[in-house]
Structure 1
Amino acid sequence: MLKLLRRQPWTCRRCLLQQQRALANRRLYYNTNATAGIPHNVQDYTVAGNEAAKRNDDNTLRMIFDSQPFWREFSQRKSGSSAGLLQNQYLTSPEGFLKLASVSLQKCQEIMARVLEVSTLEGFRRLAKDLDRLSDLLCRVIDVADFIRSNHPNPVIQDAATQAYAIMFEYMNVLNTETRLNDLLKRALADPEVTSHWSREEKITAEMLVRDFAKSGIHLPMEKKKRFVELWNSISAVGFQFQNGMESKINHLSFSKDKLRGMDPMLLDRMRRFTSVRIPIDGTMPNLALKSVHDEEARKEIYLASRKASNAQIRRLTRLLELRAELAQLTGYQSYAHMTLSDKMARSPEAVNKFLLALNSNNRQNTEKEIAKLDALKLEDYAKLGQGKPPFSPWDHAYYVEKYAARHDVSRKSRAISQFRSFFSLGTVMQGLSRLFTRLYGVRLVPKETPPGETWNPDVRRLDVVDESNNHLAVIYCDLFSRPGKNPNPTHFTLRCSRAISPEEVSEAALSSDIHPNDGMATGIKPGTNTLYQLPTIALICDFTTPSPNSSEPSLLSKHSVQTLFHEMGHAIHSVLARTDLQTISGTRCATDFVELPSVIMESFATAPEVLSLYARHWQTNQPLPEDMIQTMRLNHENYENIQGAMDNEAQIMMALLDQAYHDSSPLNLGFDTTQIFHTLYPKHATIADPVNSQTTWQGYFGHLFNYGASYYSYLFDRAIASKLWSNTFQDGKLATDREAGERFKNEVLRWGGGRDGWECVAGVLGDNHPANANGKLAEGGEDAMMEVGLWGLGQSRSEM
């Protein structure tokens, strides 16, 4: 399919870029060598080349996030007429969205007409680039419009963006059913006289498009195509109902107050109804009760009730799985899992299961150790009662984790822990990210003033990414503060991708003084070439506390929030450094079970002592984070890992195994029963599981089955790889700021986007001498490689400070 959005759904899924205007009158002028693709005035960063300017940029970066008065002054420096939203020359008014869509649609139709008439060898050799250009024209409208309609506060602009989105989305769907495009691509791929002249990127792009055409049922006869569309629409509708229809089978449970000893008495009084206390099953109350109620029988009753979804919800899930299985069968796949995994690193459900079972085996010894520690606490309780201890059960876990933490959690005993946030203001963390990127990759974040209308909200900060030679690499718009109506989910959007702009496009733009080859958005010359590129333009969305305008205290971040910001910046730096010629494979548009690797690695950087020394400073005194606080963080995390890290890992592994079990071909079998599968799988692989006769139906609460059908394993997979690379390449943090290690990771992983198989990236960064690379096994991928990654384990997990 031509619209390739290869991104991680819960955090990173979108794409945009921007170019500098040449003159104040908003006209572009080109030098006499127009075919070289070089505008006279590419943004000049030479002033940033001296050390004084770099220090000023570093200080400004902190101040624009930490000081409201400074930000107000900084944000008002650039005046004049609007350059357009995101500096897009069309988006100076709501009507501009329809103009952008109209112009882009016309260009798409011209390319489409030319492609469908191709008959010469030269025409076939241009095919991959032509289709990438076609995809780019779709994406430059769809991605921006999709982002703006969800994030702009003005309803008029939201509506205009929605209309532009609908126009291009409809045309994209037409292209995705155009059998002639699929036939031309297949013909080109089969001709050595064509492929021998293609770059690696062109060949990979063509192969991706053919795979996506196959998944869209392009080869089906008309009647089956009609059924294909019906199935997709039904899957979307039923999936939405499943995700948003979670409800418990039982609304509440009633207990005497004595049975709930351990819970807050004032809370119990608020829930009291006559002589009993009613515990609602929906919401957070069951979790609170499971952590605090002393009576095991009460905990058991609450636990089992909270794991029973309504019958209607289970029917929705069953229907969703049946529809997906039929869709896969219709398009010639053995199962929905086979269909989904065909373009992933995993390649097959058999390989995913090998990975998950190896990972579970690696994790099992630690889960048993954790349960043994908790079971010892349970033994103490029953010994005090003079009773024999029953086996450790699922409803015991949260209660005894809480009890263990009360004894051993350093953070609960340390007064200093309350001061941690004071060393992590948003400005110092952004400063730390820039310093880290400079040390690892030779790039930094430079605050940039914006003219009126460039951003969708006055709180948005623009950062330009600049390398050591002062080349402009990318634009990042940071929308990091909470506000009413804003989506609170942290997300990375790539609004326009890296792409080489052809000399023909530059010549076309030169013929009209009103047209910029990148719609006015950021461009730059690739070092060592005369090629003009559209630069990645990225938006980062977070929901950090907005500083009070009457207070000097900045937004202070928890450890979790720091890691979240590092995670999202991991996606951003992937988009920035993957400078590809074709946008189809740019940045995060790689295999979805590989896309989280850079961001998971970044979470480890966030709290490595070597990195903390770069940025953790008290917001008032500027004193560095004291060593005793660093040790407190480390001990607190170790305690978490020792008592629930492995069980948390196992919970994720079991969900991934269940996801695979649900997406095989069994939903088409008579008597398919999701509850039976759940109760067969968990006792076989989990350390503790719901009793088989309990009739729990927890699968009805597994909402990710909709968005991540057959690919829930992906985050675990990237965590396992990240753990290995953190250990090998960065030596568990000892080389966390080492340029050689950073360049290795950049050159083997980040710079490729989707232009290199993920297995080759992993093998390349580990090096030829690593045992996993023996006989090229890892680089080839497959089931053995997946199992190898499972045996690496998951390393450390994230935890809240």
Structure 2
Amino acid sequence: MFKRSILILAASCMMYSCANQTESNPFLTEFQTPNGVPPFDKIRLEHYEPAFLQGIEEQNANIRAIVDNTEAPDFENVIVAFDNSSPILNRVSAIFFNMTDAETSDALNELSIKLAPVLSEHGDNISLNQALFNKVQAVYQKKDSLNLTTEQQRLLDKTYKDFVRSGANLSAEKQARLREINKQLSTLGITFSNNILNENNEFMLFVDKQEDLAGLPEWFRQSAAEEAKAAGQEGKWLFTLHNASRLPFLQYSANRPLREKIYKAYINRGNNNDKNDNKKIITDIVSLRLEKARLLGFDCYSNFVLDNTMAKNSATVMEFLNNLWNYALPKAKAEAAELQKLMDKEGKGEKLEAWDWWYYTEKLRKEKYDLEEDQIKPYFKLENVREGAFAVANKLYGITLTKLNNIPVYHPDVEVFEVKDADGSQLGIFYVDYFPRPGKSGGAWMSNYREQKGDIRPLVCNVASFTKPVGDTPSLLTMDEVETLFHEFGHGLHGLLTKCNYQGVSGTNVVRDFVELPSQINEHWATEPEVLKMYARHYQTGEVIPDSLIEKILKQKTFNQGFMTTELLAAAILDMNLHNLTDTKGIDVVAYEKEAMDQLGLIPEIAPRYRTTYFNHIIGGYAAGYYSYLWANVLDNDAFEAFKEHGIFDKATADLFRRNVLEKGDSEDPMILYKNFRGSEPQLEPMLKNRGMK
């Protein structure tokens, strides 16, 4: 997943108190550190609010300078000046918003909620500044006579459209209502996400009987014992809703009632009618988004969002998703039937339920391919997998990543690397933070601490929640975690290799349904035999993964893809359905979700990958956008065909991809960029084949 610290630009009427200014606040100047890295060792909670307020004042002054400039409006004195108008806000927001996901606390959450309406108002004050918009519009209206480069034209178009989409052309009355909507949405989203984090942290399944651990591998038992000890329950085993705990439990536990308990706790997050209940919150969010879309001239929120993407409108997305559904659901039903047959062989008279899927899938994998996850995990030591991802990037693009010591970090788990190009020039600094902890949101993402523009190189981070080391056993990744590491590093490469002149179009500042291409194509190398032999070594013996295991891994690549595609599609369609609504009056989101899934014919053994009350993606930037993973999956599979045609490390193909995708950011229309690389528009067939549906 890609995340960016998104600052909603525009001006608060709050004045910055001189009493809050301190010379020691690191955000108020460029960081006085090697490579301009964040001085995490000096940043304190009390620095954030004064920095945000000072940043607001700084940007307001810069906006006034643009508006008051008596020279004729042009690209440099309006568009570039606006792109460069918020240095303090850029510094503090990039760090603050990543900390609220990666290393949060009650105090940080409280501050986040306090600042949300302030930043929302600031954003609206800029977006709805008529004098500023007049300047932008004046430049836009004479764009054809300005002899702009393609990148400059893209930034101009993007800036103008952002103002229009933010309400610059609305009446004063409608602008006032839009401000109120934005302010409400800013705090509702934070509360929604905090509720999910709270539920993740509060659920604890303690097991105190050995027999209840039946089926669980020894490494997982040790991990659970350590977790219980850390929670003050030494001698027991603790299992949680974090992926690194929940998924292995569902996969291996022979205790069916406990599988049911942990599964139901997971899928009912935000739907428990207690302090973490998200039903009313998401209902209010969806309703406010619909009202906002209507104010801006759209019939529904999805068409408002999609107007700014490759897909362009809801009809295109729904046609795409429904077409895939016709391939995925039959395959999922066939898989369910296979699992039921396996259960029938046991003679218990049990019917396959959702909490059985992972357990019997693992058994079926063993039966069909003579392969179990535990056979391959010893070859996927986290550090080796990471070095494998780095080695692939080196062979493709000539870049190197060298570990840096004595760089300030916000947690001991964080490691830092310097990234250099083949000619020795620096490309950026790369942070990794891979293990779960209570203050970290689930999932995995890439973000920036500083974005690239001109000669300023980026500071990029990858954050995840992978399997932790246990005692003397290092972190050994599952196949899914291996692919996630490669995926997030693909986002990282997009952020690190960018070569744009303006921050507004650099790196991952691209449309939502294009941003997953660099990440998802990078996953393909993870399981290529040549690549596996580069990094997959047994953590105890150093033995390279044998050909027999590689063959089994490749043979089962399409295994369980009906389930995986169907749950992903169900979530994408649910997201679209919620944002396709043209009337939200009296909606019960849980009942609506059930009705929508029933109409699709989703089988009860499969739930959407994310249900409405814990669908964090649609809060964090993927509203009417979760389809992007599948949309980009068409792109990445088609794009990887080019590498397979010429060799997975073919230099010419890698150079084409780097020059036309990774370096370009949003400096040109994404389909043009894709066709410049591939020579034609993407085809659906490679994706269907890769998922075993053709």
Give the TM-score taking structure 1 as reference length.
Answer: 0.65
The whole-number CA distance in structure 2 between the counterparts of 1:623 and 1:575 is: 34
Equivalent residues of 2:508, 2:665 under 8 A apart: yes
Q: Does the C-alpha gap of structure 1 residues 290 and 179 become closer, same or farther in structure 2, counting only changes over 3 Å?
A: farther
Shift of 1:741: 2.4
Residue aligning to 2:63: 112
**Contact preservation (8 Å) 1:720, 1:794:** no
Q: Is the 8 A contact 1:585 1:755 kept in 2?
A: yes
Partner of 1:616: 536
Cα distance between partner residues in 1 of 2:475 and 2:535: 15
**C-alpha distance after superposition, 1:612-645 (max 9, x if no partner):** 122222344433222122223334x34xx34x31
Secondary structure, counterpart of 1:624 in structure 2: coil
- How far 1:682 sits from its partner (Å)? 3.6
1:496 aligns with: 450
Contact 1:406 1:412 in 2 (8 A): no
Aligned residue number for residue 438 of structure 1: 394
The within-5 A match list for 1:196-595 is 196-237=146-187, 317-374=282-339, 396=353, 399=356, 402-403=359-360, 405-409=362-366, 418=374, 420-450=376-406, 454-481=408-435, 485-487=439-441, 489-500=443-454, 533-544=455-466, 554-595=474-515
Identity fraction in percent: 23
Which runs of 5 or more residues in structure 1 are unaligned?
1-9, 17-80, 249-261, 268-281, 386-391, 501-532, 692-696, 779-787
1:653 partnered with 2:580 = no
In the superposition, relative to structure 1, how do residues 488 and 240 fare at CA in structure 2: closer, same or farther (>3 Å)? Answer: closer
How much has 1:409 moved relative to structure 2? 1.8
Structure 2: distance between partners of 1:739 and 1:127 = 40
CA contact (8 A) 1:13 1:494 kept: yes
The correspondence for 1:730, drawn from 631, 643, 651, is 643
Q: Identify the residue that residue 22 of structure 1 maps to in structure 2.
A: none
Q: Following TM superposition, by how much is the alpha carbon of 1:546 offset from its aligned partner in structure 2, in angstroms? A: 6.1
Sort the Cα spacing of 1:377 and 1:461 in 2 relative to 1 into closer, same or farther, 3 A.
closer
Cα deviation for residue 675 of structure 1 reads 6.4
Classify the secondary structure of the residue corresponding to 1:337: helix
Distance in 1 (CA, whole Å) between partners of 2:358 and 2:114 is 52
2:142 is equivalent to residue 142 of structure 1:
no
Task: Please give the alpha-carbon distance, in whole angstroms, between the structure 1 residues aligned to 2:270 and 2:459.
Answer: 45
Give 1:648 shift.
Answer: 2.6
Q: Write the distance in 1 (CA, Å) between the matches of 2:52 and 2:180.
A: 28
Residue 626 of structure 2 corresponds to residue 712 of structure 1: yes
Q: For residue 538 of structure 1, report the CA deviation from its aligned partner.
A: 1.2
Over the residues paired in the alignment, what is the CA RMSD in angstroms?
Answer: 4.8
CA distance in structure 1 between the aligned counterparts of 2:101 and 2:587, rounded to whole angstroms:
39
On the 8 A contact 1:432/1:614 being kept in 2, the answer is yes
Kept in 1: contact 2:5–2:93 (CA 8 A): no
CA deviation vs aligned residue, 1:408-442 (integer Å, no higher than 9, x gap) = 52599668x64533333333223222221111111
Q: CA offsets, 1:715-767, max 9 Å, x none?
A: 121222222222x12228x8333322222221222111121222223323321
Deviations 1:435-485 (A, max 9, x none): 21111111111223436xx33345533211111111111111233355674
Q: Does structure 1 conserve the Cα–Cα contact (< 8 Å) formed by 2:661 and 2:677?
A: yes
CA distance, structure 2, for counterparts of residue 151 and residue 294 of structure 1: 33
Deviations 1:321-373, CA, capped at 9 Å, x for gaps: 33222221122211111111111111110111111122223335534543554
In structure 1, C-alpha distance between the alignment counterparts of 2:689 and 2:88, rounded to whole Å: 40
Separation of aligned partners in 1, 2:411 and 2:442: 15
Partner amino acid, structure 2, of 1:653: L
2:270–2:279 Cα contact (<8 Å) kept: no
| Residues 142 and 168, structure 1, Cα contact 8 Å, conserved in 2 | no
Between 324-333 and 347-356, report the one with greater CA deviation.
324-333
* Mapped pair 1:686 → 2:601: yes
Q: 1:461 to 1:293 in 2, by over 3 A?
A: closer
Q: Distance in 2 between matches of 1:490 and 1:600?
A: 13
Tell me the SS of whatever aligns to 1:752. Answer: coil
Instruction: Name the stretch that deviates more: 209-218 or 749-758.
Output: 209-218
Counterpart among 576, 580, 603 of residue 664 in structure 1 = 580
Distance (whole Å) between structure 2 residues aligned to residue 647 and residue 545 of structure 1: 23
Deviations 1:235-257 (A, max 9, x none): 45555666677899xxxxxxxxx
1:278-302 Cα distance to aligned partner (Å, 9 max, x none):
xxxx9989x969997999xx99xx9
Residue from 525, 528, 534 that aligns with 1:605: 525
Q: Name the aligned partner's letter for residue 478 of structure 1.
A: V
CA distance in 2, matches of 1:679, 1:155: 34
Partner-residue secondary structure (3-state), 1:594: helix
1:129 shift after superposition: 1.2
- Cα distance in 2 between the residues matched to 1:413 and 1:123: 67
Residues 720, 795 of structure 1: 8 Å contact kept: no
Q: Write the distance in 2 (CA, Å) between the matches of 1:309 and 1:103.
A: 39
Question: Does the CA contact (< 8 Å) of 1:362 and 1:791 recur in 2?
Answer: no
Bigger CA radius of gyration? 1
Flag the 1:634–1:464 CA change in 2: closer, same or farther, 3 A: same
Query: Taking structure 1 as reference, are residues 622 and 591 closer, same or farther at Cα in structure 2, changes over 3 Å only?
Result: same
Q: 1:461–1:485: structure 2 CA closer, same or farther, 3 Å change rule?
A: same
Give 1:167-182 correspondences, 5 Å limit.
171-182=122-133
Task: Determine the structure 2 residue equivalent to 1:45.
Answer: none
Q: Does the CA-based 8 Å contact 2:321-2:569 persist in structure 1?
A: yes
Relative distance call for 1:680 and 1:290 in structure 2 (3 A) is farther
Change (3 A) 1:621 1:126: same
Structure-1 residue corresponding to 2:5 = 14
Superposed CA deviations along residues 666-706 of structure 1, whole A, max 9, x for unmatched, are 325x6656567556544443363699xxxxx9755656554
Cα separation, 2, equivalents of 1:237 and 1:99: 20
Distance change (3 Å), C-alpha of 1:619 and 1:137: same
How many angstroms apart in 1 are the aligned matches of 2:71 and 2:173? 34
| Length, aligned pairs only | 616
Instruction: Tell me if the contact between 1:587 and 1:753 (Cα under 8 Å) persists in the aligned partners.
Output: yes
Which residue identity is paired with 1:793?
A: L
1:494-520 Cα offsets, whole Å, 9 max, x none, are: 1111112xxxxxxxxxxxxxxxxxxxx
Once residues 156 and 264 of structure 1 are traced to their aligned partners in structure 2, the CA distance between those partners, rounded to angstroms, is 38
Cα distance, 1:290–1:229 mapped onto 2, change above 3 Å:
farther
TM-score by length of 2: 0.74
Partner of 1:69: none
Find the aligned partners of 1:432 and 1:731 in 2 and give their Cα distance. 19
- Separation of aligned partners in 1, 2:475 and 2:40: 35
**Structure 2 residue matching 1:593: 3-state secondary structure:** helix
CA–CA distance in structure 1, aligned partners of residues 64 and 50 of structure 2: 21
Q: Tell me, yes or no, if the aligned pair for 1:145 and 1:164 is still in contact at 8 Å.
A: no
Alpha-carbon deviation of 1:92?
A: 5.1
Aligned residues of 1:291 and 1:400 also touching (Cα < 8 A): no
